[in-house]
A and B are shown apart, each in its own frame.
Chain A
């Protein structure tokens, strides 16, 4: 196998990582927002449920969450696709989303706390419902104030996609392992190349968050 084939291997590995990352990004932002909304809701049951979820899942190692998804869900006969590889992909995305959502929710909650309560009162005073107040006034501003810490959460998640390699997923780490098996003479090069790809992806993400922060800044 020559360098050309290796780079092809890495390219498909990087795509595998990106795919996992993108689906888990959507999933964790959606679930995290829902959890944060539940935590500020006037209904005690919702608040309690969200707090419990965050406490339990946040304090469970991600590897264990992956085990629950990859081995627990099949036992419960929960399958997302007939193709085994695709099924593993969905299990890993679900695990990443469920886990990262806790951190998104906690970050967002600190953002919500930073929005003056007077604005929420003014929103209710013109007749907006709790949901409208949250979705139109509070959350848009909360998101903007937490863009930098949210960036850290998202970059952590990018790196956490690597755990999926142990659960039948084709991504960067599994590509790296195949590369090492085939070209034992190039171990150091392959390790460094892998690290560089993560670095490029993470720096790219950081750049996107910097741009978002600058573009969405709220004058106060």
Chain B
């Protein structure tokens, strides 16, 4: 299931990435390698740069120095090559961001038809299979606003998967959801992880991290402070920042 390239190079490589918003440094000296099939959970206090890190990987956010490689290829600056690379990197947002004027089915078929040039019938067939997989196939003809948050987020996952991405980025995919809908989305993500999808997941859901993650990356003030296996990180954090952070989220 996991496709190993012959030389086993990481699927995502971040080298000395620096990112500024004006004078404010949002990412400092980020070095991170993500192997094919690996699931990395990114955790950290608000404003620590988790979203920014996620968004630099498909260049929704540009970086000021350093480099990012996807499957060995440096992220292009702009234009058609960047679009091509982005199509290989799926992204799921906190606020779903489904296309409001398109049906659920059209949301999922748009990318394959317009970017991959798939014929409509083929795109529809694949989209329906994906919608079936995330459990919203019977809603295919509805519009996003007619679905619950949990359903919308599952559609957003299907939309990203329709591009057959090499890696999937999730930026707090369950933070905007009512509690009773969180698990339906996490279940889809756990299944995806089990099937060998390479994933970067910004989340505070420790259950997910324990169940599905290979590594937890803890960030604070734009830096990666600690990297550990989930169980190790949650039970025995090394840095003072991580201890402090965990004590705060665990008391809730």
Q: Which residues of A come within 8 Å of B, CB atoms?
A: 42, 116, 118-119, 121-129, 132, 136-137, 140-141, 144, 218-220
Contacts and interface: CB of A to CB of B under 8 A. Distances in A.
Given A219-B145, A219-B146, A127 B163 contact: yes
Contacts of B88: 127
Given A122-B91, A219-B145, A128 B100 contact: no
9 contacts: A116-B97, A119-B99, A119-B100, A124-B60, A126-B110, A126-B115, A127-B87, A127-B111, A137-B99
Contacts of B100: 119, 141, 218-220
A131 to B, nearest CB: 10
Contacts, number: 76
A127 B115 contact: yes
Given A123-B99, A126-B115, A127-B115, A219 B143 contact: yes
A125 B115 contact: no
Nearest to A216: B101
Contacts of B87: 126-127
A127 B99 contact: no
Contacts of A128: 83, 110-111, 114-115
Contact of B91 (A42, A125, A219, A220): A125
Contact of A118 (B84, B86, B95): B95
B99 A124 contact: no
B93 interface: yes
A118 B97 contact: yes
B58 A125 contact: yes
A91 B59 CA distance: 46
A128 B77 CA distance: 15
Contacts of B89: 125
Contacts of B156: 122
Contacts of B97: 116, 118-119, 121-122
Nearest to B60: A121
B98 interface: yes
B90 A125 contact: yes
Nearest to A144: B101
A218 B145 CA distance: 9
A116 B115 CA distance: 22
Given A122-B93, A219-B143, A127 B83 contact: yes
B160 interface: yes
Nearest to B95: A118
Contact of B98 (A122, A132, A136): A122
B167 to A, nearest CB: 12
B100 to A, nearest CB: 5
Contacts of A125: 58, 60, 86, 89-91, 160
Contacts of B96: 118
B73 to A, nearest CB: 14
Contacts of A126: 86-87, 90, 110-111, 115, 159-160, 162-163
B80 interface: yes
A141 B91 contact: no
Q: Which of B79, B83, B143 counts the most A-chain CB atoms under 10 A from its CB?
A: B83
Q: Which of A119, A137, A141, A218 counts the most B-chain CB atoms under 10 A from its CB?
A: A119
A153 B60 CA distance: 35
A208 to B, nearest CB: 20
Contacts of A119: 97-100
Contact of A136 (B91, B95, B110, B159): B110
A51 B110 CA distance: 32
Nearest to A117: B97
A132 B83 CA distance: 11
Interface string B28-64: 0000000000000000000000000000001010000
Q: Which 7 A-B pairs give the minimum distances between C-beta atoms?
A: A127-B87, A219-B145, A126-B111, A118-B97, A122-B97, A125-B91, A127-B115
Contacts of B83: 124, 127-129
Nearest to B163: A126
A116 B99 CA distance: 10
A161 B100 CA distance: 37
A182 to B, nearest CB: 53
A154 B160 CA distance: 40
A136 B114 contact: yes
A64 B110 CA distance: 46
